[in-house]
Amino acid sequence: MKKIGFIGLGNMGSKMVVNLLNANYEVIGYDINEKFIDDLIPSGIYKASSLNEIPDDVDIVITMLPNGEIVEKVYENIVNRLKPNTLLTDCSTIDVKTAKKLHKICGEKSLLSLDAPVSGGVGGAKDGTLTFIVGGNEKAYNLMLPLFEVMGKKSVLCGSAGSGQAAKACNNMLLATTMIGVGEAFNLGENLGLDLKKLFDVLSTSTGNCWAINTYCPIRGVGPSSPADNNFQPGFSGNLMLKDLTIALKAIKDTKTKAPFGTKSQENFKQMVDDNKGELDFSAIVNFNK
């Protein structure tokens, strides 16, 4: 049985850990908020009160943290004590440049590494249906694959170091842009006097269908249950979408990519956050474009 260190036990990490514990993995967890760890003790987690208490004989370290700066500080704290060939898998969403830097830090210490941001939100973390978007080499990926299969329904090795973060940036830029377009389509339909449930029946089965309509429709009482039916209580907040779009915007500038819709999406979500609505689900963006 593999021994796992898990750092970052918030909304996502805590639920991923429960799935690992239910699969009988030994998990030693750390979070700056001790309550998050204490809440998991009944589920079987072993508590580390500091990063120094993550054992040096763990086989795998998983991080799920707010940003690249924090991940980098964690890596700098622990890499010198881990045994060679320990695998570090970062499931946070961070910028590509930092992800590549973390791979380099690990390589210099004879450690294996993956960048593996996730898609699926809190619900996917709880249900074990996340998609892991992975960058790194095949040896590290194959070592991590059994854990990916416990915590998610799919994992894709996208390429070398940083490829997971690159693909995640593309995915969330598309999702944000699509959600804004879905909102505009429903707004137009409403202004034209259409029954929005009938419009959903058309859009969800016609060429305009997409995940933002079929699974996560942002209109209350229309389509499958979604945050729109619960006052936009978040599965994935506007704050987090702005963070991801800002990462994408940096990549757009660094690569001199033409992406006017992605750039405009970032501006729209920044306005949502500036209006103190960032704690709402990201799909609430449809109410800021009317």
pTM listed for this prediction: 0.93
Looking at residue 235, its pLDDT comes to: 86
Phi, psi of 48 (to 5 degrees): -105, 125
What is the per-residue pLDDT across 85-127, written as a single tens digit (0 to 9) for each? 999 999 999 999 999 999 999 999 999 999 999 999 888 999 9
pLDDT digits (tens, 9 = 90+) for 194-203: 999 999 999 9
Helix (H) or strand (E) holding 26: strand 26-30
How many other C-beta atoms can be found within 10 angstroms of the C-beta atom of residue 248? 27
User: Which one of the listed residues 168, 197, 198, 256 is annotated catalytic?
Assistant: 168
CATH of domain 3-159: 3.40.50.720
- Residue pointed to by tokens 């209109």: 219
CB contact at 8 A, 265 and 288 = no
How many CB atoms are closer than 10 A to CB 274? 10
User: Rg of the chain over CA atoms, in angstroms?
Assistant: 20
Predicted local distance difference test score (pLDDT) of residue 13: 97
**pLDDT value, residue 226:** 95
Q: Where are the beta strands (DSSP E) in 137-200?
A: 152-159
- The total of other beta-carbon atoms located within 10 Å of residue 249's CB is 20
Domain residue ranges in the chain: 3-159, 166-288
Does the domain made of 166-288 have the CATH classification 2.40.220.10?
A: no
Q: ∠209-211-217 over CA atoms, to 5°?
A: 90
Check if the beta carbon of residue 63 is closer than 8 Å to that of residue 116: no
Query: Which pLDDT score, from 0 to 100, does residue 1 have?
Result: 60
- Predicted confidence at residue 121, as pLDDT, reads 87
What is the rounded distance in angstroms from the CA atom of residue 115 to the CA atom of residue 261?
27
User: Is 168 a known active-site residue?
Assistant: yes
Residues whose CB falls within 8 Å of the CB of residue 176, separated by 6 or more in sequence, listed in order? 241, 244, 245, 262, 265, 266, 268, 269, 282, 285
Q: DSSP label at 285?
A: G
CB 114 within 8 A of CB 90: yes
Q: Both ends of the chain: CA-CA distance in Å?
A: 54
Q: What is the pLDDT of residue 141?
A: 98
Task: Annotate 46-65 with DSSP letters as a single string.
Answer: EE-SSGGGS-TT-SEEEE--
Q: What residues of the chain score a pLDDT lower than 70?
A: 1, 289-290
